[in-house]
Amino acid sequence: MKTQKTTDPDMLVVGLVSVSDRASGGIYEDKGIPALSDWLAQVLTTPYRIEPRLIPDEREQIEKTLIELVDGARCHMVLTTGGTGPARRDVTPEATLAVGTKEMPGFGEQMRQVSLQFVPTAILSRQVAVIRETHDHAALIMNLPGQPKAIKETLEGLKDADGQQLVAGIFAAVPYCLDLIGGPYIETDPAVCKAWRPKTAQRPPAAAKDNAQ
């Protein structure tokens, strides 16, 4: 599904924020936003549009950008990449927590669980997720790793050679989370990442399609 430019109120609006001093300064090409964009194009089967932002590792700038994406651009979901390690300049989690109204610790816990299948240094990651609520809108904000491979792994999880899920990725829970906070009903390609909802929250495919159009 290609990104579609529209003002349809039922369409998912996704903010993508790459936090990097060097990429934002033009020293090297940003890889975070392209990786996120490519993965969303593979997984989402209902229409969406993207609001990309490339910014430096400055807490004030990160907070300002997150607020603008949720309150101004009306994003339903914001994915950040970069700035989540223990280094002095890594302040994305602090900025994210500062703008959130509810913390969602399970997302960060599961991201580290996935990454620990590959590297012991996953315990150094500090990714967090929050809900930001205003009087008439809410959005899910999630910090993701900085490397494209790790982004894909944490979003869709790990599968065996037969395609059976070994470790769940975080995106499986995102559609239902968006339902609960008043966002649009979205569907995913189960071959990439199957969205999980309780039976009482599931809609027939035709109803989901009509809602997205």
Q: Quick one: pLDDT at residue 168? A: 87
| pLDDT tier for residue 6 given thresholds of 50, 70 and 90 | very low
Whether the per-residue pLDDT at 28 is higher than 90: the answer is: no
**pLDDT digits 0-9 by tens, 89-105:** 999 999 999 999 999 99
Lowest-confidence region among 112-126, 138-152, 193-207: 193-207
What per-residue confidence (pLDDT) applies to 164? 79
Q: Greater confidence, 5 or 17?
A: 17
pLDDT score of 2: 41
Which has more confidence, 57 or 205? 57
* Position with higher pLDDT, 24 vs 137: 137
User: Does pLDDT of 4 surpass 60?
Assistant: no
Q: Domain-by-domain residue ranges, the chain?
A: 12-212
pLDDT in tens, 47-71: 999 999 999 999 999 999 999 999 9
Class of 12-212 in CATH = alpha beta
Structure confidence at residue 10 as a pLDDT band (50, 70, 90): confident
Residue of 181 and 27 predicted with greater confidence: 181
Q: Is 79 exposed, middle or buried (0-12, 13-18, 19+ CB in 10 A)?
A: buried
- Which residues make beta-bridge pairs with 50? 14
Query: How would you classify the pairing of strands 48-55 and 12-19?
Result: parallel
- As given in the structure block, the two tokens for residue 156 are 């869709």
Burial 145-171 (b: 16+ CB within 10 A, else e): bbebebbbbbbbbbeeeeeeeeebbbb
Average pLDDT, whole number, for the chain? Answer: 90
Q: What would the mean pLDDT of 34-47 be, rounded to a whole number?
A: 96
Which residues fall within 8 angstroms of residue 74, CB to CB, at 6 or more apart?
13, 137
Query: Quick check: 124 pLDDT over 90?
Result: yes
Q: What pLDDT shows up at residue 204?
A: 84
Q: Which are the contacts of 94, defined by CB distance < 8 A and separation ≥ 6?
A: 59
Q: How confident is the model at residue 213 (pLDDT cuts 50, 70, 90)?
A: very low
pLDDT at 207 (0 to 100): 52
Which amino acid is it at 142? M
